[in-house]
Structure 1
Amino acid sequence: MSLEPPPPAAGGATIDVHTHVVPDGLPFGVTGDPRWPVLRTGPETGDVLVDGALYRTVARTAWDLEARRADLPGRGCHAQVLSPMPHLFSYWAPIAPALDFSRALNTWLADAVRAHPGVFYGLGTVPLQEPEAAAAELATVKALGLSGVELGTNVNGVSIADPRFRDVFVEADRLGLAVFLHAFQPPMAAAVPGPAASAVCFPLDIALAVAGLIANGTLEASPTLRLLASHGGGGLGLALPRLIHTWRTKAPMRKRLPTPPEVVARRLFYDILLFDPAALRYLIDFVGTGQIVIGSDYPFLDVPPEWPLTDLDLPGAVRLDIQESNARAFLGL
């Protein structure tokens, strides 16, 4: 099997669940601190500025949804789930402007979904720097008609697995909102400077977050939560066997967590963005085909949405579930 992605397939009925936007209009009138991200758009690309310096150059499809929609057929997609570029979480900010910013961002997403029904679905954001406020803001996310929220794995150096964030997950479960958990600012990234930081740290970071949410009982407390782990859960598949062994051999852990870790892990969703057919095969064998969705990190990675799924020999019905039905289940459609 090749580790190089094939050209994108034309046509198809695929929902790409892991995609990002950078809305025009940033920072939505929120001022007072140069760290608020600003988007300066050009004919084909735009520059995201943070603290006056270039943070990232993005393609026009990051903010222009008409151009984005026109790009979908060539990628073999008929729909995408839009979530903010993770840096837009702005967990560093004081809570009042952070709420203003997240509400404006969520409104932009809701308007995009209404303008393109059945083509775009939206996942909003909430200010996790104040977990109580974040949990309360989920009701606004639902009222806007968004399908759920995207949460970062770290909040100012604290893992999302920390019990202080438990009520955010419990409230999302109560409201029936989907949660997309995205690797974000891994503390270990300081040891790996440059472009390799995300390649090395994201798979470790998302694995730590999900395994921690299982071990700390957060997912036990939100048993019907539809949670999607980005990047295929990263190294979670290799971390789980030891967690399972510990649960089976340590009575205090079983008393605290009645549900076996593998049962919890198998009710979560995972995108296919693992870059290796063998890694995707392992994930499918562990969690089952009903929990796998398409994810490409569009428009930031030049990866066909269905790769490396295209390199696996799967029954047609199973492939169709991964292409679309599982995404609809995650979104609660």
Structure 2
Amino acid sequence: MLADAHAHLLPRDYPADAPDCFPRMEAIDGDTARLLLFGAMRFRARDAFFDAERRVEEMAASGVDFEVLSPMPPLLRYDLPVADGLSLARHVNEFTATLCATDPARFAGLGMVPLRDPDVAAAELAAMRESGLAGVEVASNVLGASIGDERFLPFFAEAERLGMAVFVHAMPSATDRLPASAMGTYVVGLEGAMAAASMITGGTAAKCPGLRISFSHAAGGFGLMVPRAQYFWAGTWNEEAPVPERAIAHDGGPSPLEYARRFYYDSAVFDARALRYLVDLLGADRLLVGSDFPAMPREEPAGRTLRTLGLPEEDLADILWHNTFRYLGREAPPCPA
């Protein structure tokens, strides 16, 4: 059994009378794929993005039994006017809920919100839950502001109150320190680390202890960043007992690693050595399978590298199946036939 907690979808179409700032999906002659047009973006979206039957076929071919579906990240356009962003979110959310309802034993859906206005975003969560969505996807920054900034706390508090899962997808922000060619590689890793760190340093992790939140691509470089924060908090190496008189940032509260172990992280890190480190540092109960499918090809079969790590059977079963449902706040269902 395998659950993929990081997979994406795109609506097949958008309303004919939608504002000009909405995306468009156009047919491609002689192809089941469609062309996504969104601002400067031109993306060939193959049919698995929007066709539930095709998704199930491709899941079966890769050994995937369950997917958590979230909007393709470029749809998270926080630069749109709030009213337009809300209309776009509602359209995408309706499509997501409808697709997932075709086979609830195989799909759970995450919606989207115009997070540039945290109050509007928070107010939308109850309706999303009522429609059957299990949670919400947000970008790692909102127009350059870290998601751990206190202005976004009411949104995360409402997600916690409603029991909705939050998926943080790393999204590049403007930078002149690396070339544009690094936006999808190194910058995404930096963004994931900054987002996870900001949830701790901004106080959201402390104020929302029950929030179920996951980070794409294991929050980038966060796994190597947090031991340094742990050292400054404890004054000791190797997570040894803190010595407050030697610590620089000891506050008497949970340690950085304790906060980090409240989060979930997907396994799309592309290397067995990285996975071993994450299991050792954060725990097998914190990792989820993630693929970015169909925006990126899945490892074939899905979870192949995880299965080479020699993990105890219980730990492997947690990562491949049970952790996804704990993250969603659901009981793990029996594997579909």
TM, length-normalised to structure 2: 0.89
Query: Given that residues 8 and 292 in structure 2 are in contact (C-alpha distance below 8 angstroms), is that contact kept between their aligned partners in structure 1?
Result: yes
Do the aligned partners of 2:148 and 2:204 also contact (CA within 8 Å) in 1?
Answer: yes
1:136 matched to 2:112 = no
Moved more, 228-237 or 196-205: 196-205
Partner SS state of residue 225, structure 1: coil
- Aligned: 1:269 with 2:251: no
1:220 equivalent to 2:206? Answer: yes
- Equivalent position SS for 2:290: coil
Shift of 1:253: 4.8
Instruction: Give the structure 2 partner of residue 323 of structure 1.
Output: 320
Quote the residue 1:114 is aligned against.
101
- Spell out, residue by residue over 1:76-121, the C-alpha distance to the aligned partner (whole angstroms, 9 max, x if none): 1011111000111121111112111111211111111211111110
Give 1:174 shift: 0.8
Matching residue within 186, 204, 226 for 1:240: 226
The code of the aligned residue for 2:201 comes to A
Partner residue of 2:333? none
Q: 2:195, 2:219 within 8 Å by CA — same for their partners in 1?
A: no
Mapped contact 1:237–1:283 kept (Cα < 8 A): yes
Give the CA RMSD over aligned residues. Answer: 1.9
1:131-163 Cα offsets, whole Å, 9 max, x none, are: 111111111111111110001011112221222
- Tell me the equivalent position of 1:185: 172
**Alpha-carbon distance in structure 2 between the residues aligned to 1:178 and 1:112:** 19
| TM-score, normalisation: structure 1 | 0.90
Contact between 1:215 and 1:261, CA under 8 Å: does it hold in 2?
Answer: no
- Equivalent residue for 1:124? 111
Q: Distance in 1 between matches of 2:16 and 2:157?
A: 30
2:68 maps to a residue whose letter is V
Structure 2 partner of 1:5: none
Aligned AA (1:314): L
Are the equivalent residues in 1 in contact too, given 2:160–2:210 (CA < 8 A)?
yes
Deviations 1:25-46 (A, max 9, x none): 136742143xx22111333322
**Aligned partner letter, 1:80:** E
* Contact 2:261 2:282 survives alignment (8 Å): yes
Q: Shift in Å at residue 184 of structure 1?
A: 1.1
Runs of 4+ with deviation above 6 angstroms:
none
Q: CA 1:183 to 1:283, structure 2 compared with 1: closer, same or farther past 3 Å?
A: same
- The Cα of 1:197 is off from its aligned counterpart by 2.1
- Aligned counterparts of 1:93 and 1:27: Cα–Cα separation in 2: 17
Contact 1:181 1:229 in 2 (8 A): yes
Partner of 2:163: 176
The residue aligned with 1:86 is: 73
Question: 1:7 matched to which residue of 2?
Answer: none
- Structure 1 residues not aligned, in runs of 5+: 1-12
The alignment of Structure 1 onto Structure 2 pairs a total of residues equal to 316
Distance verdict in 2 for CA 1:190–1:115, change over 3 Å: farther
Which of 180, 187, 201 in structure 2 is aligned with 1:201?
187
- In structure 1, the residue corresponding to 2:53 is in which secondary structure? helix
Partner of 2:185, secondary structure, is: helix
Q: 1:253-290 deviations in whole A, cap 9, x for unaligned?
A: 544x7221111111211111111111111010011111
2:280 matched to 1:293? no
Task: State which drifts further: 300-309 or 200-209.
Answer: 300-309
For residues 300 and 149 of structure 1, what CA distance do their matches in structure 2 show?
19
List alignment gaps of at least 5 residues for structure 2.
236-243, 331-337
| Between 206-215 and 53-62, the greater mean CA deviation after superposition | 53-62
Maintained 8 Å contact 2:148/2:203: no
Q: Distance in 1 between matches of 2:94 and 2:70?
A: 12
User: In structure 1, what is the Cα distance between the partners aligned to 2:319 and 2:231?
Assistant: 30
Tell me the alpha carbon deviations over residues 288-325 of structure 1, each in whole angstroms, 9 at most, x when there is no partner. 11111110000011132314313311122221111110
Contact 2:136–2:165 at 8 Å: present in 1 too?
A: yes
Q: Percent identity?
A: 36
Higher mean Cα deviation, 131-140 or 181-190? 181-190
| Conservation of the 8 A alpha-carbon contact between 1:40 and 1:46 | yes
